[in-house]
Structure formats: structure tokens, C-alpha cells
Structure 1
Amino acid sequence: MSRNDALRAARLRAGWRTVESAAAGITEHGRALLDDRQFTVSARTWRRWEGARPGWPAEETAIVIHDALGRWPEDLGFTTPPKWIRPEHHEEEHVRRREFVSVTAAALVAGPVARQHVDPALIDYFQQQLEGHYCADMFLGPHDLIGTVSAQYQLIDKLVRSAKGETRRGLLRVGAAYAALVGWLYQDAGDMEGASFWRGVTQEIAVRSRDPHLIGYALVNQAQVRTDLGDGHAVVELCEATLDDAGRLVPKVRIMAMQQQAHGASLTGERRVVDQLLDRADRLLPRVDDDLPWGNACRRTPGYLEVQRATCYGRLGLGAEASSLWAQVLAGVPETARRDRGVYMARQATAAATAREPEQAVEIAREAATIAAETRSARMRRELVTLERAMRPWHDAPVGRDLAEILAPVTDGS
């Protein structure tokens, strides 16, 4: 882009028809808001902001921009600096980190603990509970489950320290599955630091269990975090490491590694590799017959591999192909899978925008935004922010204003 169209559109909506009137208007607003007669934004500065390299305003200027235009600078085309936290979120961030420290302590309970008898039947109990947590996650989203699941992990860890033999190994296996779920919940909540920590816990317990399937599953979990961080080469390396020992792995783990490697290939722009990996995984899908309680998305999720293909195509910029795949996928998604449905719809809307179908994108976004508000899924909010970027060519058009109104309750201040 040769200019910052997002800021220009916001200026025009505010009634500032020229750069000079915008500079005067924001200066007047800032002086009143900050009670500072020295606050000034020049026309030259505003002109730079609307250029191809707007940079980043000072923090107090960012506050004034938000108060005047109703959006933070990162939503107006500015270049967001690392570690920027919106001022209103400073206390929220403090609370979130305090909660993280509290929950993370579940994985770091100091030993030794008092010895107790551990009945092998507890393994089945925790496995049954785990399936319930997977189901609850679909309805509730991450925030309401993190404390519950991590507390159960803490109990499992305590029991492992007393258990012996096969009971100990069984509890290690189920404990790794609980740690993986906590990691996923943090990832869905947008806390990549928390996700990485718990993925590391999963990896440690998997190695201690000596279970090759669980070790492979833990590596794929690490790759999943790297996908969200946009590190395609790391994703491929982790998945290749998993598949190095493919002969020892149940088909489910091999499928997980192949589909995640496809995401890595999409991040590095390799469409042919994406299709090859997903086609190989599809041939393995009928052979999934294990009774392992974790990693069963390929069984629970309708059109599991087509979901991955559509996501990869969207990432590759193949809007029309991705949009067509999403329509097929969504036809088979039950209403009970509400959060997944919202994520898929947000991705479908972005694909429609990429295919230059803005009206269709906005119509799809209506339901996705409602689901995002209900589930508080950071993953879904990120998808909707991606949609906003894809819709920038229509920012000044009525369809662009409709989208801004639809997404405002979800993306503003998030």
C-alpha cells in the first residue's frame, strides 16, 4: 500500500476533510483531553501518518487518537511496536499474569509429597474427565476451563509421585494429555507465553512416560504454537522430527504431524507440498483405530483435513478455492461445535474478501462476530482482525462501514 488508508478513512468519518483540519482537530481534542496547552500535532506529522510508513505515535498521542477516533493506532494502520499494551489493559495484563502464575504453579508443586495409595482405576477416571473437558471447551471457550483443568493436572502430578509401575506410567500418559489441553486453552486465549510453558510441560511428561505416540503428539503440539507464531520453518522441522520415527507411531499421530507440517508449508508459500501432505494424511485416516484419549480431533471434527486445507489455502492467498472449501466444511459442522464454527466462518469471510467478494465477507462475519463475543476466543478475534485487513480496499465504502460496525464489539479494545 502506498498510503495508510485506514487512518485516512477514520479522518474522513470524523469530518476532517483535509490533513490540515485533522491536525487542528486532533490538537484541539488532545489539549482538552490532557489539559495540556502544549499538545500539538502538525499537518506534516499527520501527512506522514497517512503515508506508507506511518511509524508509531507517542503513548499520550495514541490515547488522544483513540479518544478522538474510537480506535487504537494499531487498528489505524500504524506500525505497532513490540510489547505494546493498550493503556486500558495495563491492569488487565497485571491480573492476567497473576492468574498465569497461580495456574502455572500447578505444574511446579515442590516435592516430596506425602505418600498415598494410588488405585489404578484413577487412570480411567481422569481419562473420562478429559473427554468431558474436550466437550466443555467446545461450548465454553478457554477462560472458564483453564483453572479447572490445571487443578486436575496438579492432582495427577501429586498422584504420580506416589504411584508405581504401570499405574505411574498410565498417570504420566494422562497427565501429559491434561498439560496439552491446558496449553491449548492458553493458546486459544491468546497467551502464547502460557501456551509455550504448558507445551513444554507436556513434552517433559511425554518423554518420562517413554510413550512414542505421546512424544510425537507433544512435538506436534509444539509445532502448533509455532504455527500461531508464524514460524513456518520451525513447524516443518518439528513435524519432520516426529515423522522420523513414523513406523512406531499410530496413524493418528502421523496424521497430526502431516497436517501440521502442511500448515508450516503454507507459511513458507509451498502450495504443492501442502496438498501432498494432506493427501497422504487423508489416505491414513481410515486406519485410525486406537483407543488413546487424546488427539482425537481427526475423529470428532467433521471434514478435519479439509479444514486444514482450507486454512492453508487462505494463508496462501487462494481466496476463491479457500472460500469454496469452507462452504463445504461448514455444511457439516454441527451447531454444538460453536467456537470452531466461528473460527471457520471468520476464515471463510477473509477468503471471500481475498476473492474480492466483500458483501459476502460481511454477511459471513455477522455470525462469526457474535460467536467471538460469546466465547471470548482470542484465536477468533485474531481471525477477525485478519478479516479487517483483507477488507481495507473497501474501508471507505458502505460495506466497509458495515463491517466496522459488526466487528467493533469484538475487535475494538481487544
Structure 2
Amino acid sequence: MEENESLNRAMQECGYTQAGLADAVNAHLRSLGHEGTVSDRTVRNWTTGKSRWPHPRQRDALEAVFGRTADEVGFSPPAGRRSPSTDPEQPVRRRNFVTAAAGTAAAVVPLVAPRPTMVGTTDVIRLRRGLDELVSLDQSRGGHGELECLALNGAEQTLDMQRRATSQRIRQRLFAVAADYTGTAAWSALDARQFDRAQVHLEKSLYLAGMAQDPVALFDVWNMYAILARQRQDFPRAVDAAYAAQATTITRRDPMFASLAHARAAIGHSNLGDKQAALRSLGYAQEALGKATPDEPRPSWIAFYGPAELSAMTAIVRDDVGDPVESEAASHKALSQIPEQFRRNRALATAQLALAQLHQRDIEQACSTADKVFDLMTGNPLPGRMRSLLGDFYRDLITLAPDAAVAREWGDRYRLEWSRE
């Protein structure tokens, strides 16, 4: 019995576990009114080669989930049989997108089915709806390989449709959607601390945003460039990227974007040790946010930003410049405002709170707070960015209190949680 290497490779590329693929296939079946009966064991039979030709409905669902034919993911019919679904004359550009439910990929969102007609505004709206679903998945679970793969598939489908646009205006709107999908893939790689992949996606997203002449998409790219540079500890470039975001035209039309750009610059300045510049940028961010209209239509990706997120970013700046008391206060303020559904953001703010408490030498309280990060992310792997922040906490913990019993106990849990990833 020969393993299905093509399927295993496709699962790895999209970040699927056996359970995750089972959930995605079942979700697609249920979306079409069928019963979802695929189990972990079913998927295991596929990957090991024990089952070489799934049920037709399951094959269709697999093709929808991966955006590839059954042949392309390693399945082949018994001798003497040929399925219409694997006929090369059949269109294979069927892309479906997975959203989150109960901490796993569980709902397939069909976008626009390929068709020979021209593409117009309705198609753009449908594509944006699929993008919004991926943003919701990120807000709940954080960046991971499955999300990155789905976002890239969305960009590919959008560019395929862009060639059939009804007008230049629609073409540009589709370029903007493709830029946003590619930016979502970049963000997922960033959150997973896959820096080289994030760089590649950002370069493509910047090109697409330029083709779209879309200032919001350009802002999004420069905002993420600032984050990438900070994670790579290239702090001068992080400040430069924040200034590039400030220079986009959307910041003059909408102070919400201006506020985020100033807050991003504040973090860059604090990392460079420039306390005065950091606090000045925070002041600009607060001032701009006070002028923003909360209910103005904006893209779904910026829904995370507001008073709560500015407080969370203030906590980072204050801790970086040596004000852990102010950092703790800002973290508490952030946690009182961050919506419950933004689990990843709440977990990051909690980790930052633990760091502020630790830097005040409140060892027991800091360890208790850091424990809550694991509780908040129960059921999902910790994104790479969060793992890195907890690693910073652990390094500071063993530096400040190497012999404390509570530090040893927290270290044991840290290693246990890490090993479960």
C-alpha cells in the first residue's frame, strides 16, 4: 500500500491536520445540504493510500477545499473507471474558503463560481465577503498555514476574474481585492513569524495595490512592513515604513488610519530608545483617534484598531521605554475594551500585561497573568508572534527570579504548552 504523497503535500501546504481536513470537507458537504460523515480515520485512509478513490461527493468536496482536481491530490479511479470530475476538459478553478468555528476550520464560503460571462460589481462584493471571512478567522485563531494558503487562493481567483472585468474601474477594484487577499496571506505569515514568506507576499501586495491605485491597500502594506521590520529588529526601517503609511492619502481623509500609523511609529521609536519621539507619536495617535468617526465604512481588516488597540500599543511603548507601571495600566485598559471575539488580540494584550508586572518584580502575579494566555488560546496552536512574546517573558522571568518556585512551575507549563504545538 503506497502513501498518497500528493495529498500529504497539499495538506502540508495548506496547514491541514487530518482532523482539520475532515472538518473542512464535512463543512462543504453540509453547505450543499449533505451529511458530513468524513472522520479523522477517513482522512488517514486517504493519506496512507488505503482508500484510493473517495465517494463522488467527498471527491467534489476535496477538489473545492484544495482548488485542485482529485488527480492532482493523488487520487485515481479503479481500473476501467473514469470520473467526470477528473476529465481534463472540466473547469477546475473552484475555490472555496474556510472560516472558523469551535477553533477549527469548519465552514466553507463559496465565492464566485467561474463562468464565461463578464465580471462586475456583484462579483467584487462576493469576493470581498470571502475576504471578510478570512479576517474573522485570523481574529479568532491568529496566523497559520491554512489561512495563508486560503488567502493566496483568493488572490489567485480574483486575478483570474480580473481578466474578464467589465470596465477599467472593475479591473482596478479587483486588483485592490487581490492586494487585500495577498496582504492577508502576508499577515498570516507575519503572525506565524515566517518572515521570508511574509516579505514575498508583501512585495506582491504592494505591486497589486499600486496597480489598483488604492490608498487603503497601500496603507495596509506599509503598516505590515512596519510590523515585519520590528519583528526582524530592523527598527529604523520600522519607523520608515510607519512614515510611509502616514504619507498615504487615506490618512488625510480618515483619521483612524492616521492614528494607527502614528501608533506604529511610536513603537518603532520606543524600540530605538527614543522615549520623547515615542511619546510624541502616541500623542498624535490619540489626537487623531479622537477625530475619527467610529461607524464610518472601512475594510474589515482594520476593525481591530480603536481605543482598545491603541491602549495595547501604548502598553508596548511604555514598557519599552522603561515605564512598566504605565504599561500595566494601559494593558488593563486595553483588556477592558478588546471585544471577546478577538481572542488572539486579548491573548497578546494579556502577555504584555504579564511582562509589565514582571518588570515591576511582581513575580507571582506575572506568572498567574501569563497562564491566562494559554487559557485564552485553548483549542488552537499559539501563533508564532505570541510564542515569541511568551519566550521573552520566560527569558526575563528566569533572569529576574531564577530560583523562585512559581517561576519553575510556570516554566514547566510553558514547556508543556510549547510541546503541544
CA distance in 2 between partners of 1:131 and 1:185 (Å): 14
Give the aligned partner of residue 375 of structure 2: 370
The answer to whether 1:236 aligns with 2:239 is: yes
CA distance in 2 between partners of 1:199 and 1:308 (Å): 22
Give the aligned partner of residue 146 of structure 1: 148
8 Å Cα contact 1:365-1:406 kept in structure 2 = no
The residue type equivalent to 1:329 in the other structure is A
| Comparing 393-402 and 359-368, the one that deviates more | 393-402
Give the aligned partner of residue 359 of structure 1: 364
1:114 Cα deviation after fit: 10
Partner residue of 1:197 out of 194, 200, 208: 200
Give secondary structure in 1 for the equivalent of 2:379. helix
CA distance in 1 between partners of 2:252 and 2:371 (Å): 46
The residue type equivalent to 1:228 in the other structure is Q
Partner residue of 2:403 out of 387, 392, 396: 396
Structure 2 CA distance for partners of 1:96 and 1:310, relative to 1, 3 Å? farther
Structure 2 CA distance for partners of 1:200 and 1:125, relative to 1, 3 Å? same
The answer to whether 1:303 aligns with 2:308 is: yes
CA distance in 1 between partners of 2:365 and 2:225 (Å): 35
CA distance in 2 between partners of 1:358 and 1:319 (Å): 13
Partner residue of 2:181 out of 161, 178, 183: 178
| Comparing 273-282 and 359-368, the one that deviates more | 273-282
The residue type equivalent to 2:13 in the other structure is E
Give the aligned partner of residue 262 of structure 2: 258
Give the aligned partner of residue 414 of structure 2: 407
Alignment gaps of 5+ in structure 2: 1-7, 16-66, 69-92, 94-113
The answer to whether 1:124 aligns with 2:125 is: yes
CA distance in 2 between partners of 1:375 and 1:346 (Å): 16
8 Å Cα contact 2:183-2:220 kept in structure 1 = no
8 Å Cα contact 2:14-2:149 kept in structure 1 = no
8 Å Cα contact 1:189-1:378 kept in structure 2 = yes
Post-superposition Cα deviations, 1:146-194, rounded to whole Å, max 9, x if no partner, equal 2222211211111112223111111111221111111111111121111
CA distance in 1 between partners of 2:280 and 2:200 (Å): 32
After TM superposition, the structure 1 = structure 2 runs for residues 1-400 of structure 1, keeping only pairs within 5 Å, are 99=13, 117-143=118-144, 144-163=146-165, 164-244=167-247, 248-285=252-289, 286-288=291-293, 290-297=296-303, 299=305, 303-372=308-377, 374-376=379-381, 377-392=383-398, 393-400=400-407
The residue type equivalent to 1:358 in the other structure is I
Structure 2 CA distance for partners of 1:181 and 1:262, relative to 1, 3 Å? same
Post-superposition Cα deviations, 1:112-134, rounded to whole Å, max 9, x if no partner, equal x9975212211111222222222
1:200 Cα deviation after fit: 1.2
CA distance in 1 between partners of 2:10 and 2:272 (Å): 33
CA distance in 2 between partners of 1:405 and 1:250 (Å): 47
1:139 Cα deviation after fit: 2.2
CA distance in 2 between partners of 1:340 and 1:245 (Å): 26
Structure 2 CA distance for partners of 1:275 and 1:281, relative to 1, 3 Å? same
8 Å Cα contact 2:135-2:300 kept in structure 1 = no
Task: Give aligned pairs, total.
Answer: 314
TM-score by length of 2: 0.67
8 Å Cα contact 1:212-1:249 kept in structure 2 = no
CA distance in 1 between partners of 2:411 and 2:304 (Å): 35
CA distance in 2 between partners of 1:166 and 1:378 (Å): 38
8 Å Cα contact 1:149-1:178 kept in structure 2 = yes
Give secondary structure in 2 for the equivalent of 1:205. helix
8 Å Cα contact 2:148-2:186 kept in structure 1 = no
Structure 2 CA distance for partners of 1:267 and 1:318, relative to 1, 3 Å? same
TM-score by length of 1: 0.68
Structure 2 CA distance for partners of 1:241 and 1:342, relative to 1, 3 Å? closer
Give secondary structure in 2 for the equivalent of 1:320. helix
Give secondary structure in 2 for the equivalent of 1:150. helix
8 Å Cα contact 1:213-1:249 kept in structure 2 = no
8 Å Cα contact 2:14-2:150 kept in structure 1 = no
The residue type equivalent to 2:182 in the other structure is A
The residue type equivalent to 2:355 in the other structure is T
Post-superposition Cα deviations, 1:178-214, rounded to whole Å, max 9, x if no partner, equal 1111111111112111111111111111111112333
1:267 Cα deviation after fit: 0.9
| Comparing 391-400 and 139-148, the one that deviates more | 139-148
8 Å Cα contact 2:118-2:164 kept in structure 1 = yes
Give secondary structure in 2 for the equivalent of 1:162. coil
1:327 Cα deviation after fit: 1.4
Structure 2 CA distance for partners of 1:227 and 1:297, relative to 1, 3 Å? farther
Post-superposition Cα deviations, 1:54-106, rounded to whole Å, max 9, x if no partner, equal xxxxxxxxxxxxxxxxxxxxxxxxxxxxxxxxxxxxxxxx97997289xxx99
8 Å Cα contact 1:199-1:218 kept in structure 2 = yes
Give secondary structure in 2 for the equivalent of 1:296. helix
The residue type equivalent to 2:298 in the other structure is L
Post-superposition Cα deviations, 1:363-396, rounded to whole Å, max 9, x if no partner, equal 1011112334533211111111010011112122
1:142 Cα deviation after fit: 2.4
Higher RCO (CA 8 Å, separation ≥ 6 residues): 1
Structure 2 CA distance for partners of 1:182 and 1:254, relative to 1, 3 Å? same
Give the aligned partner of residue 7 of structure 1: none
Structure 2 CA distance for partners of 1:298 and 1:345, relative to 1, 3 Å? closer
CA RMSD of aligned residues (A): 3.1
1:318 Cα deviation after fit: 2.4
The residue type equivalent to 2:269 in the other structure is A
8 Å Cα contact 1:123-1:171 kept in structure 2 = yes
